[in-house]
Chain A
Amino acid sequence: MLESEYQEQNRFFLNMGPQHPSTHGVLLIVLEMEGEYVLDPQPVLGFIHRMHEKMGESRPCQGFMPNTARMDYVCALPYNHGYVSLIERKAGIEVPKRAEYIRVITSELNRVASHLLWLGAYLLDLGAFTPILYGFDDREHILDILERITGSRLTYCYYRFGGVYKDVDDKFIEATRAFIKRMRKRYVIYEKLVTKNIIFIKRAENIGIVSPDMALRYGMTGPNLRGSGIAYDVRKNEPYSVYPEFDFEIPVGEQGDCLDRYMVRVQEIEQSLRIIEQALDRLPDGPVRSKVKKNIKLTPGDCNFAVEAARGELSYYLVGDGTSTPYRLKVRVPSYSNLSCLPELGRGILLPDLVSILGSFDLVIPEMDR
Chain B
Amino acid sequence: MKQYFSELYTGGKSLVEGLGVTMKALFSPIVTVQYPREEIDITPNYRGHIDLILDTGKNTYLCISCGMCEKSCPSDCIKVKGKKMEGEKKKSLVLFDLDFTKCSLCGTCVEVCPKDALEYSQEYNLAAFTKEAFHFDILKRLEERRI
Contacts and interface: CB of A to CB of B under 8 A. Distances in A.
Nearest to B104: A66
B105 A66 contact: yes
A155 B120 contact: no
A291 interface: no
B43 A196 contact: no
A293 interface: no
B74 A64 contact: yes
Interface in A48-91: 59-60, 62-67, 70
B106 interface: yes
A152 B21 contact: no
Interface in B57-104: 72, 74-75, 104
Contacts of A192: 17-18, 20-21
Given A66-B74, A70-B104, A198 B10 contact: yes
Q: How large is the interface on B (under 10, 10 to 19, 20 to 34, 35 or more residues)?
A: 20 to 34
A62 B74 contact: yes
Secondary structure at the A interface, as helix, strand, loop or mixed, is helix
Contacts of A65: 74, 106, 108
A203 B10 CA distance: 15
B127 interface: no
A148 interface: yes
Q: How large is the interface on A (under 10, 10 to 19, 20 to 34, 35 or more residues)?
A: 20 to 34
A229 to B, nearest CB: 27
A162 to B, nearest CB: 12
A1 to B, nearest CB: 38
A15 interface: no
Contacts of A70: 104
Contacts of A196: 14, 17
Contacts of B25: 134
A351 interface: no
Contacts of A150: 45, 47
Nearest to B9: A198
Contacts of B105: 66, 151-152, 155, 157
A203 to B, nearest CB: 13
B32 to A, nearest CB: 9
B45 A149 contact: yes
Given A62-B108, A66-B104, A137-B31, A148 B14 contact: no
A340 interface: no
Given A151-B47, A157-B104, A197 B14 contact: yes
B91 to A, nearest CB: 22
A150 B20 CA distance: 38
Contacts of A189: 21
A196 B12 CA distance: 12
A66 B72 CA distance: 13
Interface string B1-45: 000000100110010011011100100000100000000001101
A177 B45 CA distance: 20
B11 A198 contact: yes
B52 to A, nearest CB: 18
Interface in A132-166: 134, 137, 140, 147-152, 155, 157, 165-166
Contact of B45 (A63, A130, A148, A157): A148
Interface string A193-206: 10011110000000
Nearest to A148: B43
10 contacts: A62-B72, A63-B108, A147-B46, A148-B43, A148-B45, A150-B45, A150-B47, A151-B43, A151-B46, A152-B105
Interface of A: 59-60, 62-67, 70, 130, 134, 137, 140, 147-152, 155, 157, 165-166, 189, 192-193, 196-199, 294
Query: A-B pairs with the 8 shortest C-beta distances?
Result: A63-B74, A151-B47, A66-B104, A66-B106, A157-B106, A198-B14, A192-B17, A148-B43
Given A130-B22, A152-B46, 17 more contacts: A59-B74, A62-B74, A63-B74, A65-B74, A65-B106, A67-B104, A134-B25, A147-B43, A147-B46, A150-B45, A151-B105, A151-B120, A155-B105, A157-B104, A165-B107, A192-B17, A198-B11
